[in-house]
Amino acid sequence: MPKPPTLDDLRRYAVARTLFKPTTLARAIDKLGFVQADPIRAPARAQDLILRHRVTGYRAGDLERRYERLPIEEDAFVNYGFLPRRHLALMHPRTPKQAWTAATRRKAAEVLAFIREHGPTHPRAVEAHFAHGRRINAWGGSSLATTHLLDDMHYRGLLRVQRRDNGTRIYAAVEHPPADGGREARVARATALLDLIVRKYAPLPGSSLVYLTRLLRYGAPHLQAEARIALAAARERWQSATIEGIHWYWPVDENPRSRRWSVDEHVRLLAPFDPIVWDRRRFELLWGWTYRFEAYTPPAKRTLGYYALPLLWRDAVIGWANASVRDGRLAVTSHFVAGAPEDEAFRRELKDERDRLAKFVGL
């Protein structure tokens, strides 16, 4: 029986497997499988901060500028983000648990007919034609009912995002081919979605795999029973081992102890949703401290800052940084859990990473 990996092996593996050699934008998204999106810019959106480490010559906003020419889609998965178009067949046609009322179905049919007639459409054009009024949103504020209806139509697979104009989604009508409704085919789709999760977030503690399976109800609410069946076969489907009392999973064709997983001598400032740090359970197991995303935490209760970027050095996350653009200059403040490394290589790399970040945001 092969020797199980150590926690040190898992740390190196967790970093090296997702920081592959920079490639094209399309190939990077294909290798990642899913890129989580977030609208906050501090100093750039999360999707851009994720891709800059993995795409040659990437600049903030490249994804939005090039989206229409790429075989990718904005859609729901375990969160909202970008994924290769071929994965949509695993989740669509999507059947939400909450059915529309007759009135909403009628409004959606009218909007869909309007967009089919006019082609890719800005939400303002829909609102100007239909004047659906306003409604209370999920955060307690007021927003256009048209915005909510278009979001829901996109989620249910009636619309797709054709492109964005200054951050606003431009919608086009779409039809997803019918899926085999048989039990075996449904379990196969759920299993493929879990494969995508494991390949993206490995190595995964067992509790995190269960949590991500539950999050799959966002992208595939109609496959929840089948996802539980697929999860029950986890030990047979993926490689696994118990390390220091925690059971871990990773893809069957990867070996965390392999020499292929080598880390470089770079400092990297990571997005809060980067696959290296996304799983907060795993983060604490691998690096021994608690990282929090505090953008929605009241300022008086923040400990790391509004938008803390985890600071990776080699295969260790040793602290975090807060970055912002002030008067046309990038300001970066670094913080360390146990003090900054003393060696000159680290200081040089930290400066280079600040320079790379400034160039990335166009300064």
Please give the single-letter amino acid code of residue 356: R
Answer whether residue 168 shows pLDDT above 80.
yes
What is the model's pLDDT at position 1?
56
Instruction: Taking residues 30-58, report their average pLDDT.
Output: 97
Q: Which residue, 131, 146, 173, sits at the end of a domain?
A: 173
Strand partners, 150: none
Segment among 34-43, 143-152, 249-258, 316-325 with least mean pLDDT? 143-152
Return d(Cα 78, Cα 80) in angstroms, integer: 7
Answer whether residue 141 shows pLDDT above 90.
no
Residue 224 belongs to a domain: no
> Hey, what are 167's tokens?
């951050």
Helix axes 206-219, 224-232, angle to 10 degrees: 160
The residue written with tokens 């999707």 in the block is 47
Residue 275 belongs to a domain: yes
Answer whether residue 136 shows pLDDT above 80.
no
pTM, two decimals, is 0.93
Confidence of residue 361 (pLDDT cuts 50, 70, 90): very high
Answer whether residue 139 shows pLDDT above 60.
no
What is the per-residue pLDDT across 218-246, written as a single tens digit (0 to 9) for each?
A: 999 999 999 999 999 988 999 999 999 99
What is the per-residue pLDDT across 288-306, written as a single tens digit (0 to 9) for each?
A: 999 999 999 999 999 999 9
What is the model's pLDDT at position 132?
54
Domain count, the chain: 2
Instruction: Taking residues 72-85, report their average pLDDT.
Output: 98
Residue 110 belongs to a domain: yes
What is the model's pLDDT at position 250?
97
Contact assessment for residue 311 and residue 342, using Cβ atoms and an 8 Å cutoff: no
What is the model's pLDDT at position 310?
98
First-to-last alpha carbon distance for the chain, in angstroms, is 53
Of 248, 268, 309, 313, the C-alpha closest to 287 is 313
Residue 2 belongs to a domain: no
Of 343, 346, 339, 281, the C-alpha closest to 312 is 346
177 burial level (CB within 10 Å; 0-12, 13-18, 19+)? exposed
The winner for highest mean pLDDT among 122-131, 136-145, 207-216 is: 207-216
Q: Which residue, 153, 173, 193, sits at the end of a domain?
A: 173
CA quadruple 312, 314, 318, 321: dihedral sign: negative
Q: Which residue, 173, 208, 229, sits at the end of a domain?
A: 173
Residue 71 belongs to a domain: no
Higher local confidence (pLDDT), 236 or 270: 270
**CATH number of residue 131's parent domain:** 1.10.10
Confidence of residue 143 (pLDDT cuts 50, 70, 90): very low
Query: What integer best gives the mean pLDDT of the chain?
Result: 94
**Whole domain around residue 282: which residue ranges?**
267-360
Strand partners, 161: 171
| DSSP state at residue 281 | H
What is the model's pLDDT at position 122?
96
Percent of all residues in the chain with a pLDDT value above 90, rounded to a whole number: 89
Residue 214 belongs to a domain: no
Confidence of residue 21 (pLDDT cuts 50, 70, 90): very high
Residue 294 belongs to a domain: yes
Residue 305 belongs to a domain: yes
